Structure formats: structure tokens, C-alpha cells
Amino acid sequence: MSNSVTPSLTPWSRHALISIIILASIGSIMAAVLFVIPSLIPITDSFWHEWVDEAQAIRPWLASAGFAVILIIGIIGLHRQRHSADGKAEAYHALAQQLSQVANKSEIVINAIGDGVIATDEKGIIQLINPAAQAIIGWGKQDAEDLDYRSVLKLSDDKGNDIPQDAGPVQQILQGGASVTRNDLLLTTASGKKINISLLVSPVGAYGSGAIIVFRDITSEVSENKQRAEFISTASHEMRTPVAAIEGYLGLALNPATAQIDDKARAYLTKAHESAQHLGRLFQDLLDVSKAEDGRLKNDPKIIELVGFVRESVSVLAAKAQEKGLSLVFQPDVTENASNSIAPIFYVEVDSDHLRETMSNLIENAIKYTKDGTVTVNVTADESHTTVSVADTGIGIAQEDIPHLFQKFYRIDNSDTREIGGTGLGLYLCRRLVESMNGRLWVESETGKGSTFYVELSRISADEVERRQTQFGVPQAT
């Protein structure tokens, strides 16, 4: 809905004014021609005398007619002016009403939401604090408004160290930065209690002209997560040992060199062995996840020749692909054979255990979620980055699942995946491991056509590797 406000001088009133000026001018000229000039010129001719007499006779009529015209135009002009002034007042009134309705609605919404909302101006002075924010922080509206946000919103990092005045998320926004989300900060309330908060700070309008701070208390969520992680870590650690023992003894029972069993018993024990292996992997995944989450994941970067390293990971899983009737292709070898050239050599500097686990998770998934066709692993690079891709011709992933794929315990539940076992931890762990290597992990996929997972890592040039080896004797990881 739009409302136009009438300009201060309408076209009509402008016309009226111009008409009055023109008529007044014409009237003056006529008066001069009819009465002033003839009276100044000595008139001898009788025609002129008659003309002056006649003109003098119609003078009252002319004057009355002129006056009447000027009066009518003036009245019309005034009427239009008044009318337009009325319209203008109405338009202003409607606009004011609309604005106040919008303001009321925004206030109702801001007051109703459960998250704390604080708005500051460009200097960081609090302009608005909603009831949820007042309840979380323990400051009243009257006390908080017009104060610097730092007096009210006292932030510290997860170890309790105060955030420096000019490095906090709100300050970043006030200095023109883009929106900031933080889940790792503590807030000190008016009573001195420290609570965990989830915080989103966004600029108001143009960058640097104020900030909107939205936050909520996540203390209980953080504490629950911590307890859950501790439980998972302890339980999986305790259970991994007996499961490893069961797996080992089942392996011995299945080995013809160490045990004699009939075919029926072999079939049962093979199933038991597979399940024990699956359980062992689950506990290992859980343990790795809890390590990744509480910062116990060790990171020991070494220089790795990537093509050879990935070839190794592929060959370990070749038997698994073969069992399923899939072809597992390592593209650099195919290109090498086809073009009679040598496979390229790319170096990265990462933790070899993290890279091995990531590669094996991605290739295993590609085999697991592909019924028939090919799994192709490739390694490419540009000047500064290397990219490993794992492409399959499998069931694919719907676009709406892709944003959730790397979350903990996320499994896609559909008719294609229901029969396939898993924990929903593999891709989450891959993400954490790739992050720990300062890399990037993403997927491109189409349902029914297959998926390609990419791992991007920083590349180290051959010259740099050589320089480090001669200078420090840096060992290469295998």
C-alpha cells in the first residue's frame, strides 16, 4: 500500500497565481493605453475625442469584469490550495498511522520472542532491550537503555577471559563488519553468574550504523552435551576392548590354520565376525568423535605425497568394492596408462592418520551407497590447493539433505538407505578431521545419479619440500 503526500504548491494554485499576475499585467497595459497615454498626447482629432469618451464610458464595465475574473480565479485557486492542504494533512495522518502500526507490530514481535534482543546505535548505546534480554541479563529496561552495551553485555571466552573491548563481536559490527555468530561465549549476568550463550550480531541498515544483538541462554544444552560426550567417550572406550577380543577370537575360529570347523559353523561365525567388526568400528567412531569434540584429537602434520597416499587408501578397499561387483578406479593411474605419462606428484602437510581416516570413510561410503557401477577416486591440484574427489554412480543425495549431511548422527532415511547399516558419524568425523587439517570438505550430488565428495587441502610446492628436507631433514609420512 502506498500513500503520496501532496507537494506544498499544487499545479492548480500555481496556475491561479500565474493567471492573476498575467491579468493584472494586461489590466495595467490596457489602462495605460486607454486612459493614461491618450491623456498625455495632445489630441486634436475628433476621432480620438470620441474614442476617449467611449472608452471612459465602458471603463466601469471593464474594471468590474476584470475584477470579477480576478476574484473567480483567486477563489478557485484558494479552494484548490485548501483542498490540497486538506489532502496533504490526510496523507500525513495515514502515513503516521501506518508507521505507528508497523512500530507497534515490531514491538509486539520483539517483546514476544524468547531470545534476548538488544539494539544499539552506531556508538554502541542501547536503544532497545526486550523483556527476554532483561530476564537473561538481569537488567531492567530503564537501567539498560541509553547505556553503552559493554556495561550491560559483559562477554568472556569459554575459559572465562574477558573479551578485549575492541575485539568483541558487537564491536566488529559497529566497525562495519559482517554478521557474527558465536556459540562459545560466556555472559556475566547482573548478579555475577556466568552463563553460556548463543549469540548472533548483525548490522542495522548500512554497515557501521548500529547493531542488533540476539542471544539465548544455552547453559543447560552445553552441560548436557558435555555429560553425553563424557558418557559416550567412557562407554566406547570400555566396550572397545572386549569387542576387540571377541573379534580376534572369531577371526581365529574362522582361520583354517588355527581351527577346524564345518561349513554351517563357518557361516554363523562369519556373520558374528562381521557384526563384531561393525561394533568395533562404531566404538572407534564414537571415541574419535568425542576426542574431536573435547579437543583431544592429536594433530601431527607431516609432509605427504598425496597421489601415492590416496592410491594406498584406494587399494586397501579394492577387495570390498570387488565383493560388491563394483569397479574402483584410481584416476591418476588410468590417465597415466592412457597417456603414457607419469602420475603427478603433489605435496600436502597434514596429519596422516586424519587423512587416512577421511579417505577411507569417503571411499567406504561410496562403495556402501552404490548398488552397481563405478567408484572413481581422483587427485588434482592448482598452484596452491590439492583436491581429492571420490565420485560414485550410487543412490545420490537429495538437495534438502546436503546441508545436514555433515552433522552428528545424521542419516538419510529412505527406501534406498534403510537396509544399509551405519551410525551417521562417518561424515561428521570427516568434517572434523578435514577442519583440523585446515581443509574444506563438500559434496555435489543428484538423487539416483551418484555423488562426488571433495576434500581440498593446501598444497606445498616441490621446491618448498626440498628446501625443508635439506634444511631440517623433514621426514615424509607414509
Q: Give DSSP secondary structure letters for 177-219.
A: PPPEEEEEEEEE-TTS-EEEEEEEEEE-SSTTS-EEEEEEE-H
For residues 117 and 395, which CB has a smaller minimum distance to ligand ADP in the complex?
395
CB of 418 to ligand ADP, least distance (A): 10
For residues 157 and 444, which CB has a smaller minimum distance to ligand ADP in the complex?
444
For the record, the C-alpha cell of 303 comes out as: 609432509
For residues 198 and 417, which CB has a smaller minimum distance to ligand ADP in the complex?
417
Q: Cell 558465536 maps to which residue?
A: 182
Determine whether 339 is exposed, middle or buried from the number of CB atoms within 10 Å of its CB (0-12, 13-18, 19+).
exposed
Beta bridge partners of 302: 350
CB of 4 to ligand ADP, least distance (A): 56
For residues 168 and 394, which CB has a smaller minimum distance to ligand ADP in the complex?
394
For residues 171 and 378, which CB has a smaller minimum distance to ligand ADP in the complex?
378
CB of 184 to ligand ADP, least distance (A): 24
3-state DSSP assignment of residue 392: strand
CB of 313 to ligand ADP, least distance (A): 15
Residues 373-402 that bind ligand ADP (CB under 6 A): 392, 394-395, 397
Q: Are 404 and 410 in contact (CB under 8 A)?
A: yes
3-state DSSP assignment of residue 455: strand
Q: Which stretch binds ligand ADP (CB under 6 A): 3-11, 295-303, 305-313, 406-414?
A: 406-414
CB of 165 to ligand ADP, least distance (A): 42
For residues 262 and 419, which CB has a smaller minimum distance to ligand ADP in the complex?
419
What is the C-alpha to C-alpha distance for residues 5 and 85, in angstroms, rounded to an integer? 10
For residues 6 and 423, which CB has a smaller minimum distance to ligand ADP in the complex?
423
CB of 408 to ligand ADP, least distance (A): 9
Residue 455 makes contact with ligand ADP by CB under 6 A: no
CB of 157 to ligand ADP, least distance (A): 30
Number of residues that bind ligand ADP (CB under 6 A): 20
Q: Are 452 and 443 in contact (CB under 8 A)?
A: yes
Q: Which of residues 13, 120, 378, 451 is near ligand ADP by CB under 6 A?
A: 451
CB of 429 to ligand ADP, least distance (A): 8
For the record, the C-alpha cell of 84 comes out as: 490540497
Helices (H) and strands (E) in the chain, counts: 15, 13
- 42 CB-side CA count, 13 A: 0
CB of 452 to ligand ADP, least distance (A): 9
Residue 148 is given by DSSP the state B
Q: Are 20 and 73 in contact (CB under 8 A)?
A: yes
What does the per-residue mask of binding to ligand ADP show for 411-440, with x meaning CB under 6 A? xx----x----xxxxxxx------------
Residues 47-76 that bind ligand ADP (CB under 6 A): none
Residues 345-374 that bind ligand ADP (CB under 6 A): 365-366, 369
Phi, psi of 109 (to 5 degrees): -65, -50
Q: Which residues touch 414 (CB under 8 Å, ≥6 apart)?
A: none
Determine whether 254 is exposed, middle or buried from the number of CB atoms within 10 Å of its CB (0-12, 13-18, 19+).
middle
For residues 189 and 423, which CB has a smaller minimum distance to ligand ADP in the complex?
423
* Residues making contact with ligand ADP (CB under 6 A): 365-366, 369, 392, 394-395, 397, 405, 410-412, 417, 422-428, 451
